[in-house]
Structure 1
């Protein structure tokens, strides 16, 4: 029997008025003595019923630039403070299904700053985020290991890992 009970439709728009984007993904590279590491997080996502490996990310607030949003979201979700250095072209998350989009924003994190030593995330009541970093050099292998452990890999993280792996295999400089 087909269910004909009407359901409330999800909101159609997450994009603030007069903004070209819905949100930002943040590429925060931590310069450590052992080499550069990508800041990642683990967060449970109910639609897939799994903990997902993600870059810090979030929605843009009305009147906010991609750079401002990235710096704010990085601080709120991870406690790190940084400076936006680069903004990608607009990227569509899954244009076959929806129109949500984002800019990837590269944020420089100065590990010598006191604020980046004693982290104080400002999570929302319904956010449960575990922050960690992994060497850029081994990101591809780390994604495979984490997937084997049962984690889901967010497309932004997976695509970044694939890009690094392609560059490594083809010796691109």
Structure 2
């Protein structure tokens, strides 16, 4: 999960889903990358994040200027956000050929073709998120690779900046 560390980004659901999944697959690692935005009213306090890390549920990576290396090492990018503009992290994940698990909300759902490059879940639902993660973990290595390739093609087709500029020019005449 790459996001500002806010409850609105689905932090609690991510941690609960990680706990559920790790009961069955204890070797699964759930990384969390992002800033603890103490100015935002619904931020997750650092002591909560550190406690979840000490329990072995998540691994908090802090912040980095090299997000690309984190995405590159991930098997799947998860963003269980409650509300979102078009998620830059998810678009970057697409461009890097990663499977995505995210919420079925505007700004996130546009990045996933269900079952082809990831899975969509209801927001605020840790059980649904855990189920989607179980589905991902059950995929063969080849199926995971196919999902990643589909993500890359989707990024090129739908989110290439040249295409966005062409649509903009068409609209503005």
The TM-score normalised by the length of structure 1 is 0.25
> Per residue, is there more helix in 1 or in 2?
2
The structure having more radius of gyration, on CA atoms, is 1
